[in-house]
Amino acid sequence: MAESDKAVAVSSTGNRLLTAEDFRRLSDVPPEIEWFANLTNPQTRRAYQNAVEDFMRFAGIQRPEEFRDVARAHVIAWRDDLGNRVLNGTTIRHRLSALSSLFDYLCDRNAVTHNPVKGVKRPKVDSGEGRTPALGDHQARELLYAPEGDTLKNKRDRAILATLLYHALRRDELCKLKVKDFKHERRGVPHLKVSGKGGKTRYVPLHPAASALVHDYLELAGHAADENGALFRPVSHNTKDNGGKSITADGVYKIVRTYSAQLGFEIGAHSLRATAATNALDHQADIAKVQEWLGHANISTTRIYDHRKTRPEDSPTFKVSY
């Protein structure tokens, strides 16, 4: 190895850095590959990968640089093909958004002159209001008490359900919680430190009811001192021996699904987020504050969770009197 190569490969402290070969190789990475590598959220990566791979199959693209020959007509033809496959409007819009994100990146890198997805008419969809069902207050209470008994699993599940219902967290946000994130204080008030979408961090005041249940769980689980480990863990590996690994998002989904099914209303974990938001709004919480609480970039997204307009008891039906 030449002296210049050695200078690149090893720092003054002896720690290995990039070799000259690696440096040259990374310099030649196509921007199309850079764009995908820059997606950090696993769900976003999976959804965008599926969308772009679908477009590549449709257009016959085999090499990254072939994206630079894509015209608006190709995108329109793909959109129409998606519609012919009887995909719903929301799915088609999401796939077009994924492709548009790629071309926005290519534009920023001067790899293409324009984004061919812009100007392509997207299918209309409804507002989404009511798509994620919110529980009634009595149902939420029943769900909170559904895990009966003092086993580790029951204590953990009660703590998870309470954390979701009192703080409107996403599944991924709950899974990312570390023990130390449960121990924050701001102005003397306990807070959760939540790692949200897009790498954004927010601090959510900790509800006393949830706090008590999490403390009960940690006391029995025995990992309260493992501050850098996951707060909620698989029951079979609820110690430092598992490296402090978290319960999975799928595991959280199954917990909510199982207990709600036992109570006669089978729902997913996202419904608890809708329930918390609706309950807060029902009790006069300011919608701008709820937007911040949920970690939404746009208040129009928050309005999707506002189910107050759909309450049957407020229908004009019950105002009619003969």
Please, what is the end-to-end C-alpha distance for the chain in angstroms? Answer: 95
Residue 109: active-site member: no
Residue 283: active-site member: no
**207 φ, ψ to 5°?**
-70, 135
Q: Which of 223, 233, 273, 303 is catalytic?
A: 273
Work out whether strand 201-205 and strand 184-186 pair parallel, antiparallel, or are unpaired. Answer: unpaired
Continuous H helices in 61-180: 72-84, 89-108, 137-144, 152-167, 171-176
Residues 6+ apart with CB under 8 A from 55: 61, 78, 95, 99
Residue 305: active-site member: yes
Q: Which of 158, 223, 233, 296 is catalytic?
A: 296
- Pair of tokens at residue 297: 């970039």
Q: Which of 170, 171, 223, 303 is catalytic?
A: 170
SS3 state at 204: strand
Residue 273: active-site member: yes
Strand partners, 10: 16
Alpha-carbon gap, residue 61 to 30, rounded angstroms: 15
Environment class of 255 (CB within 10 Å of its CB; exposed 0-12, middle 13-18, buried 19+):
buried
Alpha-carbon gap, residue 132 to 310, rounded angstroms: 12
Residue 94: active-site member: no
| Extended strands (E) in 112-220 | 184-186, 189-195, 201-205
Reference 150, options 217, 218, 229, 215; nearest CA is 217
Residue 296: active-site member: yes
SS3 state at 61: coil
In what helix (H) or strand (E) does residue 37 lie, and over which residues does it extend? Answer: helix 31-37
Q: Which of 105, 217, 259, 305 is catalytic?
A: 305
SS3 state at 287: helix
Q: Which of 122, 197, 254, 257 is catalytic?
A: 197
Q: Which residues are catalytic?
A: 170, 197, 270, 273, 296, 305
